[in-house]
Amino acid sequence: MCNATNAESNMIHMKRCVMKWKEHALVRIGVGLHKKVAGTCGYLCASNSTLRCGTSGVVERFCVQEIAMQAASSGIGYGLKYQARCISDVKADTDHTSFLAGTLSLKEENEVHLIRLSSNGTELFCEGLFSHPNEIWDLVSCPFDQRIFSTVYSNGETYGAAIWQIPELYGELNSPQLERITSLDTDPGKIKCILWWPSGRHDKLISINEENMYLWNLDVSKKTAQVQSQDSAGMLHKLSGGAWDPHDVSSVVATCESYLQFWDVRTMKKTISVECSHVCSVDYHPQKQHILVTAEHESGIHIWDLRKPKVPIQELPGHTHWAWTVKCNPEYDGMILSGGTDSTVNLWLASTNHDELTDERQVDSSARWVDPLLNSYSDYEDSIYGLTWSSREPWIFASLSYDGRVVVESVKSFIPKK
């Protein structure tokens, strides 16, 4: 313990706190904000570049930029007010690198943050802050209109989904309010996620709840959404999420406990099933048809070729606890992000070519084996539930931990040279 009457002891303790800050790189938190770091008794005040020791009362001034340069992580942080699970790249914003994040508070009024990366890539700032009713469990930005997004929400007992629009002149309003374009109301089943048509302007949406999948026609101008068709998962299965195939827009996959279940949306009928472990997340490879990636609770990250779906073509170790979410890079082949309940984000470079992997297995594995794990980002204090790549700058990703901390990182140094 620090003794406030012992100046030397105070300074030693203070240096330890400052070093802890340097290790965690929690410095870019916004002017006027205070942030506490686990393992220290110090609070950083970004507005006047001071760190106050809660035990000794000693105040030390320092250069925020200097600590940032010395930090172990290059990530840029942004803090939400409440706990959160959802973050989405604003794909339709071609002028800025932007993200939407939604909070998950049962007692307080929830918020949607429009977060923007500065043009020099050194700062995250809040471009817009909007109130949202109920807890946000899923949030996806519209791929063709940067002011439109969908949410799945809950009041603790029932679930719902809606399409929202950010007001056009939100920056000039004192208290800008979201406009609810329409609700996606079906039966009282527990809705899990909304899928937008993979690319371009289109009027089709899919909603997935535990029992059913629905195909919707959305008319933004008339502020309506109508169910076009639907199908049931069956009495023995519960759906939990899904993805829309960017190469074949007639195909959608849903995560279904220990299966991947595929639908043809033209007929809204099931096609094939792929047996997995307890799958939490699925994403299609954006460049290669037939390839998708899953995150599974206990068995890590699996890469699948749907032409030979009996076994995965590659298995990645995953996480020390549950692997919760997985995202394929929109441009760089084989670059994959995964987030887990071990408070870690892993960056992988995996082979997605079935023939190459088969050839490698036929030679001496000890001579050819290359660790697919490029980097682990462990500067978090809670589970990672939200991950997204930037479509505008595909070497940038944003992560969201349950405690409401957003971190944006660059993977430029890990991109393979051509």
Domains and CATH numbers, the chain: 7-70 (no CATH), 276-418 (2.130.10.10)
Q: Is the pLDDT of residue 3 over 70?
A: no
Q: Is the model more confident about 317 or about 404?
A: 404
pLDDT at 118: 96
Banded model confidence at residue 34, pLDDT cuts 50, 70, 90: very low
Banded model confidence at residue 33, pLDDT cuts 50, 70, 90: very low
Closest by CA position to 165, among listed 153, 182, 180:
180
Over range 292-311, report the average pLDDT: 92
φ/ψ (deg, to 5) at 21: -65, -40
- Of the ranges 70-79, 120-129, 202-211, 218-227, which one carries the lowest mean pLDDT score? 70-79
pLDDT of 160-213, one tens digit each? 999 999 998 777 667 788 999 999 987 767 899 999 999 889 999 999 999 999
Q: Is the pLDDT of residue 22 over 50?
A: no
Q: Name the amino acid, one letter, at 63.
A: C
Give the chain's mean pLDDT: 82
| Residues above pLDDT 90, as percent of the chain | 64
pTM beyond cutoff 0.85: no
Q: What is the Cα–Cα distance from 51 to 43, expressed in whole angstroms?
A: 6
pLDDT at 65: 32
- Of the ranges 24-28, 189-193, 262-266, 407-411, which one carries the lowest mean pLDDT score? 24-28
Q: Is the model more confident about 119 or about 12?
A: 119
Q: Is 344 in contact with 387 (CB distance < 8 Å)?
A: no
Banded model confidence at residue 17, pLDDT cuts 50, 70, 90: very low
Banded model confidence at residue 357, pLDDT cuts 50, 70, 90: low
pLDDT at 120: 94
pLDDT at 278: 85
pLDDT at 188: 63
Q: Is 396 in contact with 99 (CB distance < 8 Å)?
A: no
Banded model confidence at residue 355, pLDDT cuts 50, 70, 90: low
Over range 315-343, report the average pLDDT: 94
pLDDT at 369: 54
Q: Is the model more confident about 118 or about 51?
A: 118
Q: Is the pLDDT of residue 363 over 60?
A: no
pLDDT of 38-71, one tens digit each? 444 443 433 334 444 444 444 444 433 333 323 3
Banded model confidence at residue 304, pLDDT cuts 50, 70, 90: very high
Over range 66-84, report the average pLDDT: 70
pLDDT of 366-413, one tens digit each? 445 578 999 999 989 999 999 999 999 999 999 999 999 999 999 999
Q: Is the pLDDT of residue 89 over 50?
A: yes
